[in-house]
Amino acid sequence: MKTNCLLFVCVVLVCNVCTAADKELTGAERSLKGLTGVEVVVSDPDADERRAGLTKAVLKTAVELRLRRNGIKVLSKGAALKTRAMAEIYIEINNHHSGDGLVAVAFIFELRQAVTTKHGQRVMGATWSRGSVAAVGRSKFKRASLESIADFTDQFSNAYLKANTKK
């Protein structure tokens, strides 16, 4: 009898610890739990971005290297499609060059994955996202863009690791 009671108490304590750990996560962080890796997808840069050196390859490589350095597995498109979540990081940069040498730039950084609607339909949806808008000098456009994307990559990495670290 004592053994059964002790076992019951241990199970209750373990369940409470797991539930408490999950409660520390935000909804967006909870959506990252159980992901085995992510694919990196970059929107097509416009002519101004390409002229500044912000090509698809430069952005994709920078994010993939940072994710790997942070301990997150980067998946190819084929590998990502084989996972249930089909998780992808989507990056988009939009800009407008003014006549006075300033560039208005907007950054979108999202984790998109397969989600199920309440009607049972599977669709891709953003479950974690960051974004910002800035005005920078034309000469600082590339550096500011890479720094913003690096910062968002680190924020994502922290959330991913928080959701997927065994406690």
Q: Contact 156/109 with Cβ under 8 angstroms?
A: yes
| CATH code, domain with 77 | 3.30.160
Q: Identify the band that residue 34 occupies on the pLDDT scale cut at 50, 70 and 90.
A: very high
pLDDT per position as a tens digit, 110-131: 999 999 999 999 999 999 999 9
Residues in the chain: 167
Contacts of 17-21 with CB under 8 Å at 24 or more apart are: 17/167, 21/167
Has residue 12 got a pLDDT over 60? no
Note whether residue 53 is domain-resident.
Answer: yes
Tokens 């994010």 map to which residue?
Answer: 63
Q: What is the 3-state secondary structure (H, E, C) of the chain?
A: CHHHHHHHHHHHHHHHHHHHHHHCCCHHHHCCCCCCCEEEEECCCCHHHHHCCCCHHHHHHHHHHHHHHCCCCECCHHHHHCCCCCCEEEEEEEEEECCCCEEEEEEEEEEEEEEECCCCCEEEEEEEEEEEEEEEEHHHHHHHHHHHHHHHHHHHHHHHHHHHCCC
Once rounded to an integer, what is the mean pLDDT over residues 100-107?
A: 93
Give the separation between CA 167 and CA 147, rounded to whole angstroms.
31
Q: What is the extent of the structural domain holding 109?
A: 33-164
Note whether residue 6 is domain-resident.
Answer: no
Has residue 8 got a pLDDT over 90? no
Note whether residue 13 is domain-resident.
Answer: no
Structure tokens at 22: 């999950």
pLDDT of residue 162: 95
pLDDT of residue 81: 87
pLDDT per position as a tens digit, 40-97: 999 999 999 999 999 999 999 999 999 999 999 999 999 988 988 899 999 999 999 8
Question: In one letter, which amino acid is 125?
Answer: G
Instruction: Give the chain's mean pLDDT.
Output: 87
Note whether residue 7 is domain-resident.
Answer: no
pLDDT of residue 167: 62
Give the separation between CA 59 and CA 150, rounded to whole angstroms.
10
Note whether residue 22 is domain-resident.
Answer: no
pLDDT of residue 4: 44
pLDDT over 90 for what percent of the chain? Answer: 73
Question: In one letter, which amino acid is 66?
Answer: R
Q: What's the number of domains the chain is made of?
A: 1
Note whether residue 11 is domain-resident.
Answer: no
> Which pTM does this prediction carry?
0.81
